[in-house]
Structure 1
Amino acid sequence: MMKNNTRNLIAVLVFFVGTTVFYGQKNDWEKIKSLKVAYFTEKLELSSSEAKGFWPIYENFEKDLHKLYEGRRDLKKKYDYSNLSEKDSKHLLDTYLEFEREKVDITKTYYAKISKVLSYRKTYKLARVEEEFKRQLIREYRDKHQKGKQ
């Protein structure tokens, strides 16, 4: 039964991702977010009480990571990577390492909060579920792009 639910969820994910990722509208990101909620809830086997505690924490986690990524993206736009000086390269390397440290710090902070709501087993599984979801999105994006080129 769980396998059929997973297949159905993946089929729905494939359909929505295939029709939404490429348009970049806020509305589409909301659809992807809804699919993510369903996917994570199923894969982590969240009870309703676990979901109530987990999702607000996870949403704040994503917001904090998004802010961090925005800062990194803004910095990347400032440099011509094909012609970096040694000084600029050192600055960018230091900034990159600081970014990675901050990302780890944010993740540690939020995983500690999540582990107060979910078991350690489910908290640990979360990292794998996040990667599976990202890979699925990328796979669907590539498949859609390949079909468009044929």
Structure 2
Amino acid sequence: MNKLSKIGALLIIMLVFASGYGQRRPAQERIKTLKVAFITERLNLTTDEAQDFWPIYNAHEQNLEALKRQERREIRSKLIDFENLSEREAADLLQQSLELEREKHKLNMQFMDKISQVISAKKAFLLIKAEEDFKKRLLREIQQRRRGNR
């Protein structure tokens, strides 16, 4: 792919990305932008792949974020006062937590089914690895900044 095509693909990706995440805080926006660039570089997506890939990826990320918000709202907020929960309330929270985990698993399975139709199986595995590598890199940078601020 020539340089102009890569720039065009990156611009398309950024536009798709920006339209889906316009209401986030600046730090979250920056992290998301870095993540998109990291994944784009690692997967070496063609222009056509990028046009199909990013809408599916962004929708998946939004669905996962909605589940995380639900988890924070329905489960973690109640765990703050964990010592005062009855056994029955704890059992109910555990069932809710398990159901949310099942839903996350279902979403991930559906995502992999969809994404494997637009990118190769090898790139699908590269995506999994790229996301893990990005998380590790982000955690390392956060730890280094914390050490530097002490």
> For this pair of structures, how many residues does the alignment match?
125
The superposition leaves residues 22-67 of structure 1 with CA deviations (integer Å, 9 ceiling, x where unpaired) of: xxx7122222222111100111121121111111110000000000
Matches within 5 A, 1:88-99: 88-99=89-100
Moved segments of 4+, more than 4 Å: none
Aligned to 1:16: none
Aligned to 2:138: 137
Offset of residue 125 of structure 1: 2.1
The superposition leaves residues 76-125 of structure 1 with CA deviations (integer Å, 9 ceiling, x where unpaired) of: 11341233321121111111111111000001111111111100111122
Partner Cα distance (1:134, 1:95) in 2: 27
Partner Cα distance (2:29, 2:145) in 1: 20
Partner Cα distance (2:109, 2:97) in 1: 18
Which ranges in structure 2 are unaligned for 5 or more consecutive residues? 1-23
Partner Cα distance (1:144, 1:81) in 2: 32
Question: Equivalent residue of 1:116, what SS?
Answer: coil
Which structure has the higher relative contact order (CA within 8 Å, separation 6+)? 1
Which ranges in structure 1 are unaligned for 5 or more consecutive residues? 1-24
Question: Equivalent residue of 1:87, what SS?
Answer: helix
Identity of aligned residues (%): 40
Partner Cα distance (1:31, 1:50) in 2: 24
Matches within 5 A, 1:58-77: 58-75=57-74, 76-77=76-77
One-letter code aligned to 2:44: E
Change (3 A) 1:144 1:123: same
| TM-score normalised per structure 1 | 0.78
Matches within 5 A, 1:21-100: 26-75=25-74, 76-79=76-79, 80-100=81-101
